[in-house]
Structure 1
Amino acid sequence: MAVYSVPEIADKINALARELAQELLPNGHFNPNRTRWFFSGIPDTGNGSSAYVELAGAKRGKWFDYGNAAPGEDKGDMLDLLQLKLGLVDKRAAIEEAKIRLGIQDDWKPGKPAQLSPEERTRRAEEARERAAAREAEADKDRQAKARGAKSLFLKGGPIAGSPPEAYLHGRAIDGGAKWPGALRYHPEVWNRAAGCKVPAMLAAIYRADGEQVGTHRTYLQNDRERGWCKFDCGDAKMVLGNMWGGFIPIHKGASGRSMANAVAGEPVYVTEGIEDALVVRMMKPDARIVAAISLGNIGAIVLPGAIERLVIVADRDTNAKAQEQLERSIAQQQARGLDVRLVMPPAHWGGEPVKDMNDWLVAWLKGERRRREAMA
C-alpha cells in the first residue's frame, strides 16, 4: 500500500473545506459569493461572525478567527478544525480521522519511515505543483472578480459633502476641512446581509501602493433619533468588499500632493487602523501623508514604495494581548523591509475620561475645552 505524507493528507482534506465547514460549524453561513464560511469561533455559538474558513483559492481550508479566540483557536487548517471540533487528543488523531474521511488506507506506522520510489516521489511532487498552480489561478481569478465588484460599487457612490457620512463624521468631532478625501464616497443603498436590506454607507477605496484599487470598505450608517447619524447597529457595521490584505485607504497625500507610487524620497507615512483616526491625524498634521490600514494585522502587510523610509504607526491604546501581539508583528514586518518604524499612541486618559484611540482623544479634548470655556464664562 502507498504511504501519504502529512502535507499530502492536509492538502487533500483542505480540498473538502466547503463540506467540512458546514458539518463542523453548522451555525455559520456563507458570504455572498460563497467563497468563505463565516462562524462565531470554535465554540460555534452563532453569535457573531469574527471567524471564517476559506473555501476557494490558494488558501482553501485555512481558517482565521479575528475575535477574542482562545489560545490555539485563532487559526489553522482542516486538520486543526477536525481536532478541535471532534475533541481529538492530538494532531496524529486528526490525521487518522482525515484518512478515514478521505478513504485512505496505507501501511504507515509510528516510527516507520515512508518508503517511496524515486518515480513515485517525482509523480507526487508534480501533482502537488499542479494543484498549487490550479489553486493560485483560481485565487487570482477570484481576486480580480472581487476587485471589479468593489470598484464598481465605489464608482456608484457620490461625494460625502452634505451627506449622512459627513453628518456621522461631524458627530465624531471630525472636520473635513476644505475638502474631504477623494477616497471617501457615499451611497444611499448598499446591501447589508445581517439586515437583509440596503442601507446607507460610507464607502472607502482600498488601494495598493501601485495605485490599483483592490477593494472597497463599507461603513454602514443609520439615523438614530437620539444619536443622529451613527454606525449601523445590526451585525458588523464595517465590512470590506473585495480584497484588503496589503492594501490601504489613502486619506491624505500630504504636502507633496503626489500619489503614493510617486512619493517624495524620505517622506514619512502615517498609518492608523481606522478611517476615523486617520481623519483625526489629518486634522492634526495637515502636511503629512496618511493612510488607514483597516486592521492591525494589515499594517504589517502593506508594501510601501522604496521612496518611503519611515512609517509612523498611530495605534489604538488596546490592552488586549492579541491586539498587542498583532501590533508587534506588524512593526517587525515593516522593520524587516528596512523601514524606520515609529509608534504613537493617545494617552490612556484625558480630562478624567478613558481614551481608546485618536478619535476618543479628540472628543475628550473638545469636551475639556468646552468645560473650560463654560467655567470662565
Structure 2
Amino acid sequence: MSVYSVSEIADKINRQAREIAQELLPNGSYNHNRTRWQFSGISDNGKSTSAYVELTGEKCGKWFDFGNAAPGEDKGDMLDLLRLKLGLVAPRDAIEEAKQRLGIVDDWKPGRPAQLPPEEIARRAAEAQARAERHEATQEAARAKAAKNAKRLWLSGVPIAGTPAEAYLLGRSLRADVWPGCLQFRDQVQYQNEDGSEKRDVPAMLAAVYLADGTHVATHRTYLQQDTSTGWGKLAVPKPKKVLGKMWGGFIPIHKGSSGKPMSKAPADEPIYVTEGIEDGIVVRMMLPSVRIISAISLGNIGAIVLPPPPNGGRRKLVIVCDRDVNPKAQDQLERSIAKQQARGLDVKTVMPPEHFEGLPVKDMNDWLCAWLESQRRQRKGAA
C-alpha cells in the first residue's frame, strides 16, 4: 500500500472544487460563465460577492477573499476551505477529511479529523458574521454613492429633441415620436478608456437605469461623435457604451405598453418584451406599440432582473428579443437567463431577427429595420 503526498491529495481535492464549494458555501452563486463560485466570505451569510472559488483551469480549487477577511482567511485551496468551514483543528485534519472524501486508503492513518471545541467554532462564526456585516455596510454605502452620482449625471442632461442624441437615433432609422422619456443628452460627459490612460469629455446620450421598484440605480452612457459624411454615430472606441453605477438587475424602461401602469401593477396578460440594447427596444416599440418594453443592457443581465408578480395573480410573460449572435458564450448566457426567469415562475419566450433580409446581413432588430427600409428604398428606386 502506498502513501499519497500532501500535494497529490491537494491536487485531487481541488478538482472537486465545484461540488465542495456549493456544499460548504451554499449561499454563493456562479459568475456569468460558471468558471467561479462567488460568495460573501467564509461566513457565507452576506449579500456581496467579495470572494470566489476558481472552478476551472490551473487555479481550480483556489479561493480568494477581497472583503474584510480575517488573517489566514483571505485565500487558500480546498484543504483550507475544508478546515475553516468544518472547524478542523489542524491542516493534517483537513488532509484526512479530504482523503475520506476521495476514498483514499493508504499506510498513513492519523485517525479521525479533530474538530475545534463547539464554543471556539461559535466564536469564529460570530467574528465572521461581524466582518460580513461590516463589509455589507461598506458595499451598501458604495452602491448608494454610485447610484447618487449616476442620478446626478442623468439629471444634468437635457431632453434629446434637437440634440446629437436625436440625430444619432434618427441615423439608426428610429422614429422621433417614440423616444423613451428616460433618455437625456449631455454635451460633455467624461470618457475613460479601459486602461485609464485617456480621459476626455465627449457628447453622450444618457439613459436612466431602474430596478423594478422604481429605484434609479445607474445611468447608461452612449458616447457619440460626428462624422462629416455619416453624421452622428457612436464614438469610435472599443466600448462606446458604458454604465455609471451598479446596473445588475436594473433595466432601461422603453415603453409602458397599452396599460400605462407601473411595473408592479402591470397585469399578467401584458407581456414584457426585453431587449439588450436601447435601439432594439425602440424598434420593438415602433412595431408593437401596445406592448411593455424594457432594455436589459446586456444578455446576462436579463436573468438578473427580478420582476414583481402580477397584482391579481397569474403567470407573468417575458419575451426576450435576442440578437443574432452565434458566439457560444452568448448562447450560454441566453440559456442561463431563460432558466433564471423560468425558475422565478415566468413564462419565457424568445424572438430573433432573421440572419439575412433581402441579401443584407442582420445582427439585431435595429439592423433588421434598417435592412427593411433599404429594401423599400431599392424597390422605389427600381419602380422609378
TM over 0.5: yes
Asked if 1:306 corresponds to 2:313, the answer is no
1:188-199 residue pairs with structure 2 within 5 A? 188-194=187-193, 195-199=198-202
Cα 1:76–1:373 change in 2 (3 A) is farther
Counterpart position of 1:295: 298
TM-score (norm 1): 0.73
Shift of 1:342: 1.0
Unaligned runs of 5+ in 2: 1-13, 22-34, 41-46, 66-75, 85-89, 98-112
CA distance in 2, matches of 1:77, 1:293: 33
Deviations 1:201-230 (A, max 9, x none): 000000111111111000000112222111
Shift of 1:134: 1.4
Counterpart position of 2:182: 183
Cα 1:137–1:352 change in 2 (3 A) is same
1:162-241 residue pairs with structure 2 within 5 A? 162-177=162-177, 179-194=178-193, 195-241=198-244
TM-score (norm 2): 0.72
CA distance in 2, matches of 1:373, 1:261: 46
* Secondary structure at the counterpart of residue 160 of structure 2: coil
Counterpart position of 2:155: 155
Counterpart position of 1:16: none
Deviations 1:73-132 (A, max 9, x none): 7x9997379xxxxxxxxx859969xx9xxxxx9555622535211122111211221122
* Secondary structure at the counterpart of residue 96 of structure 2: coil
1:22-61 residue pairs with structure 2 within 5 A? 58-61=48-51
Residues 317 and 347 in structure 2, CA contact (< 8 A), matched pair in contact too? yes
Shift of 1:345: 0.3
Counterpart position of 1:368: 375
CA distance in 2, matches of 1:321, 1:237: 23
Counterpart position of 1:20: none
State the identity %: 54
Q: Which AA in structure 2 matches 1:137?
A: A
* Secondary structure at the counterpart of residue 214 of structure 2: coil
Q: Give the count of matched residue pairs.
A: 303
* Secondary structure at the counterpart of residue 322 of structure 1: helix
Counterpart position of 2:141: 141
Asked if 1:325 corresponds to 2:332, the answer is yes
Counterpart position of 1:315: 322
Counterpart position of 1:340: 347
Shift of 1:264: 3.0
Residues 52 and 64 in structure 2, CA contact (< 8 A), matched pair in contact too? no
Cα 1:156–1:94 change in 2 (3 A) is farther
CA distance in 2, matches of 1:222, 1:180: 20
Unaligned runs of 5+ in 1: 1-5, 11-41, 43-53, 65-70, 82-90, 100-104
Residues 210 and 250 in structure 2, CA contact (< 8 A), matched pair in contact too? yes
Cα 1:78–1:348 change in 2 (3 A) is same
Deviations 1:222-275 (A, max 9, x none): 112222111111342111111111110000111122222332342110000111
Counterpart position of 1:257: 260
Counterpart position of 1:79: 63
1:272 to 270, 275, 280: 275
